[in-house]
Amino acid sequence: MSNSPDSSSRRLTNKYNLPTPLVEALAADPYDAGGADLSVTSIWKPTQLIDLVRRHRAEIEVDASDLIPSALGSAFHTLMERADRHAIKEKRLFAHIEGKLISGQFDRLILENESATLQDYKVTTVARFSRHSHGADDEWAQQLNTYAFLLRLNGIQVSALQVIVILRNWERYMLMRSLDYPSLMVQVVNLPLWDPAEAEERIRARVRTHEVVSPCTPEEMWYKPAKFAVMREGRRSAVRLFDNEAAAQYFISTLKGTASHYIERRPEIYTRCEEYCEAAPFCPQWKAIRPEIPNE
């Protein structure tokens, strides 16, 4: 079995008593990193997360219900791979970088005249799509530029990067409620292509970071600081949000009818740790931040 953290054999639970065929389908994960030390996606993950998953892979539990979103993404990938007759699809690439075997399987490569467009499929929520900056340091840009780097090592010069996004919870009625809401359920996003020399330098440096396990940074934990919400009696949503209590107090002092307003502290959030990190139950850093949460 590969030592890659992406191929960890997790213990599957069924806390919500989902139908047996569904659970068996979710358990049949065909992913194989091909014996690589790191995958394209794990290169950019926190070193502490990767290390904890490797060391506790036999203890990690994942509920079947939590695998449904990724299963929907896999099903869409399979559908597109079967129907697509116009591109190179699902090809796995390898390269030795900084003493480690790196592996990555891109979704779609279009070779047309002298150009090569690399595309990746993403099935996600509207909220997660909206959180992406789509800039050079965006998570998707890092992933696709690493695929482009591997393709260059294999003799193919990529000229454009695109992500084809399926918003699985998109609702048409929301178009009338928000100006920022995505206009369609399908979004095609052009991502910035790194300069080849810059890409090699950044990717090699990132692979080297995995030589030493370091605590996660606030950015890696997807940290959002505490907010102070000015609330009004009889209203559920905040009147305004502030970064500190003094600013919230001053705002209330400027309002008429201040007696009906009050301040509600909304605690800081570590989104990755709280919702997306399978290594969180074994993480000493997370335990220090949230000591009230028992180890699973």
Q: What is the pTM of this model?
A: 0.87
Q: Where are the domains of the chain?
A: 5-209, 223-289
Place 2 in a pLDDT band, splitting at 50, 70 and 90: very low
Mean pLDDT (whole number) for 154-161: 96
Fold classified for 5-209:
Lambda Exonuclease; Chain A (3.90.320)
CB environment 159-192: b (16+ within 10 A), e (fewer): eebbbbbbbeebeeeeeeeeeebbeeeebebebe
235-269: pLDDT as tens digits: 999 999 999 999 999 999 999 877 899 999 999 99
pLDDT, residue 292, reads 78
Query: Does an H or E element contain 24, and which?
Result: helix 20-27
* pLDDT tens sequence across 60-115: 999 999 999 999 999 999 999 999 998 999 999 999 999 999 999 999 999 988 89
* C-alpha to C-alpha distance for 208 and 34, rounded to whole angstroms: 21
Look over the chain and give the mean of its residue pLDDT values, rounded to a whole number: 92
In this prediction, residue 268 carries a pLDDT of 95
212 pLDDT higher than 70: yes
* Distance of alpha carbon 176 from alpha carbon 40, whole angstroms: 39
